[in-house]
Chain A
Amino acid sequence: MNFAHEAILDDVPLTKRDMYYKDVPLFKSQATVDRLVDDLAATFELERADLNIRATSKGLICGTGLVIHLFGGEMIRVNDSEGSLIPAGESIENFEVESDISWVLVAVFQTLCRLQLACHPSLPGPGIIITGKGYPDVATRQLVKTLSDNLPLRVPILALVDGDAYGIDILSVYKHGSSSLRHEREKLAADRVQWLGIQMTELAGLEIDIDNLIPITKHDEKKAISMLQRPAAAMPTQWRKELTRMLHTRRKAEIEILSTAVAGRYPPGSPALLHYLLRKISYFIDRSV
């Protein structure tokens, strides 16, 4: 609590990572710091930013058409080749949309930036790819929320997650907010986010045999059953069906499975994942118009 107090008095922002390192023996783990900060904020009915504690960023953004201006003059020009680290929401002064962004893809792992997807000629327009690297941190969710609140409705905001309990839970964090930050949910829930894929139920259409799917683990099973108990507002019918089918077949669909799709469908040398994304992003753009 002293660190937070100092941070407010001196007006020097602190990240939770910084706090952890100030007294590792006391805190013992980053997770302890994270929990304490959230508890403090909830107790005072403040937001973490009011305590002048920033989220440590791990998310990346790549693509074209967007420049992020930070307080203090610094600027991040989002580019197509390398991901830029997503800055904490509180440090962003404004966004400059340079060209007509047609789509936003929110993904779990970063190899998408290397797929040359953002300016692909097959797509109606350029887009932005945000990588949360697993469960997204607050800065990443703030960015998705900001885009969701400000981009025109014809721009679909799509999430690519594994078709398993954890993937769907990550999707839920973006769309409905996380349960541990319940008091901040309104600010971070980006309801516009849609599930692009990958779903178990679409695999037959991609000629992927059920035998190629990975068996679920006991963790998947427990997680799925617990998620199915969530209220309807936080668990749409489509997601329930996927989780139910996963539990019944005892298989899950992970993004890597796309590489087993029938090779003849795609031009030689092109990754199945790229073509899957091109097709689905185009589909969602058409639907949003």
Chain B
Amino acid sequence: MSLAFLNALECTEPHADAIWDIAWTANDTAVSVSADGTVKQWDSTSGQISKSRPPHTLAIVSLSVSPDGRHALYNSLDGTTCLWDLQDDNILGQHASYDRAVEGAEPSWSVSLNPKGGTYAGTSGSGNVNIYSANPDSFGSRQLVLSSGRNKHGMDCKYSPDGSRIALATETGQVFIFELESGTLTSTYSTHAMAVRSLSWSADGQLLLTASEDKRLILHDVRSGPSGKPGSGAVATLTGHSSWVLSTDISPDGRLAVSGSADKTIKVWDLAARTAVSTIQDSGEVWAVAWRPKPSATGSAGAFVSGGEDGRVRWWRSAGAGS
């Protein structure tokens, strides 16, 4: 079975360096962050820049947008975290997570905005996930430390769609799930032996897809059983990439997943069939991929946006009926 995706649109002017993270917002804009230190919001119909942040001195490594598309949280290489109001175009908060004057401060790497608002998470080099206030009057004040127990660099973290859990992926390949209300570690998965670079939750929070330097994506069942036991873990392995898998996202209807790889391709996977249904050739490493959050019209496989080494945002639409 195969699906065709067409390159519907390309941004009118590229970033000066690689795009390292990307999002498609509920307002149908795309937001991209780059090694060139800039954050840009794009109109998904024209491909033009609608808003842009002046360049930070260092690369931006992580991006997380709110479900309503109003806010973008982004973090730089040295751990400067900012919250950008995309509507009013102002910075609501800025946090120097590396500031050693604050007791126990750890520079953040990957950041994730709580979909319910109020807090955001940052991974550290020591295997912790730090939970900070996202409120403008107390932005960056640390509220909770979730410890994985392993002193390893945290590559990615993502809140579950209902905001009750958070997943952490480390550079040794382990994946940890914490429950926020109790602040406890509820599950550990060691399905990968090499770094996991990206995580994606299914919309219903039952599945977690991991993308690893071992060239595979693994789908994990992360439901808590009635007895409270953590989900059974790996239920599917997606193979086909010939180099590191850098980024992944599960489609809003849960049927498909998209992945970007260092092998310079984008693959779309059918999760039930566990196979790739589309492979798109890019010119360089594909660092970031994200589905359009609005469910697609009947018959259409949907749309996603990608960003990679050449600094160009590209929008892709299914060649099937409607979109």
What residues of chain A have their CB less than 8 Å away from a CB belonging to chain B?
209-211, 215, 218, 221, 225, 228-229, 241, 244-245, 247-248, 250
Q: Which residue of B lies closest to A245 (CB)?
A: B35
* Alpha-carbon gap, A245 to B17, bound state (A): 11
B283 to chain A, nearest CB (A): 12
Task: Assess whether A221 is in contact with B58, with CB atoms less than 8 Å apart.
Answer: no
Q: Which of B36-71 contact A (CB under 8 A)?
A: 58-59, 61
Task: Assess whether B35 is in contact with A210, with CB atoms less than 8 Å apart.
Answer: no
Interface size on B, residues (CB 8 A): 17
Task: Assess whether A225 is in contact with B243, with CB atoms less than 8 Å apart.
Answer: no
Task: Assess whether B125 is in contact with A221, with CB atoms less than 8 Å apart.
Answer: yes
Task: Assess whether A225 is in contact with B125, with CB atoms less than 8 Å apart.
Answer: no
Task: Assess whether B35 is in contact with A244, with CB atoms less than 8 Å apart.
Answer: yes
Residues of A within 8 A of B77 (CB): 225, 228, 244, 247-248
* Alpha-carbon gap, A244 to B287, bound state (A): 14
Q: Does B171 contact A (CB under 8 A)?
A: yes
Q: Does B268 contact A (CB under 8 A)?
A: no
Q: Does B20 contact A (CB under 8 A)?
A: yes
- Other than A229-B78, A248-B61, give 10 A-B pairs with Cβ distance below 8 A: A211-B244, A225-B107, A228-B58, A228-B77, A228-B78, A244-B58, A244-B59, A244-B77, A245-B35, A248-B20
Task: Assess whether B243 is in contact with A210, with CB atoms less than 8 Å apart.
Answer: yes
* Partner among A209, A218, A248 whose Cβ is within 8 Å of the Cβ of B59: A248
Residues of A within 8 A of B153 (CB): 250
Task: Assess whether A241 is in contact with B243, with CB atoms less than 8 Å apart.
Answer: no
Q: Does B262 contact A (CB under 8 A)?
A: yes
Residue of A209, A221, A229, A247 with most chain B CB atoms under a 10 A cut-off: A247
B312 to chain A, nearest CB (A): 18
* Alpha-carbon gap, A247 to B62, bound state (A): 13
Q: Which of B1-23 contact A (CB under 8 A)?
A: 17, 20
Residues of B within 8 A of A229 (CB): 78
* Alpha-carbon gap, A250 to B244, bound state (A): 13
* Alpha-carbon gap, A221 to B78, bound state (A): 10
Q: Enumerate the 8 nearest inter-chain pairs by beta-carbon distance, A residue then B residue, closest first.
A: A244-B59, A225-B78, A244-B35, A247-B77, A228-B58, A210-B262, A250-B171, A244-B77
What residues of chain B have their CB less than 8 Å away from a CB belonging to chain A?
17, 20, 35, 58-59, 61, 77-78, 107, 125, 153, 171, 195, 213, 243-244, 262
A-B contact pairs, 27 of them (CB 8 A): A209-B243, A210-B244, A210-B262, A211-B213, A211-B243, A211-B244, A215-B171, A225-B78, A225-B107, A228-B58, A228-B77, A228-B78, A229-B78, A241-B17, A241-B35, A244-B35, A244-B58, A244-B77, A245-B35, A247-B77, A248-B20, A248-B35, A248-B59, A248-B61, A248-B77, A250-B153, A250-B195
Q: Which residue of B lies closest to A218 (CB)?
A: B125
* Alpha-carbon gap, A248 to B36, bound state (A): 13
Residues of A within 8 A of B59 (CB): 244, 248
Q: Which residue of B lies closest to A232 (CB)?
A: B57
* Alpha-carbon gap, A218 to B171, bound state (A): 12
B109 to chain A, nearest CB (A): 10
* Alpha-carbon gap, A241 to B16, bound state (A): 12
* Alpha-carbon gap, A244 to B18, bound state (A): 11
Residues of B within 8 A of A250 (CB): 153, 171, 195
Q: Which residue of A lies closest to B126 (CB)?
A: A218
* Alpha-carbon gap, A241 to B309, bound state (A): 13
* Alpha-carbon gap, A244 to B171, bound state (A): 17
Q: Which residue of B lies closest to A224 (CB)?
A: B77
Residues of A within 8 A of B125 (CB): 218, 221
Residues of B within 8 A of A244 (CB): 35, 58-59, 77
* Alpha-carbon gap, A215 to B213, bound state (A): 12
* Alpha-carbon gap, A225 to B79, bound state (A): 10
* Alpha-carbon gap, A241 to B20, bound state (A): 14
A236 to chain B, nearest CB (A): 14
Residues of B within 8 A of A221 (CB): 125
Residues of A within 8 A of B58 (CB): 228, 244
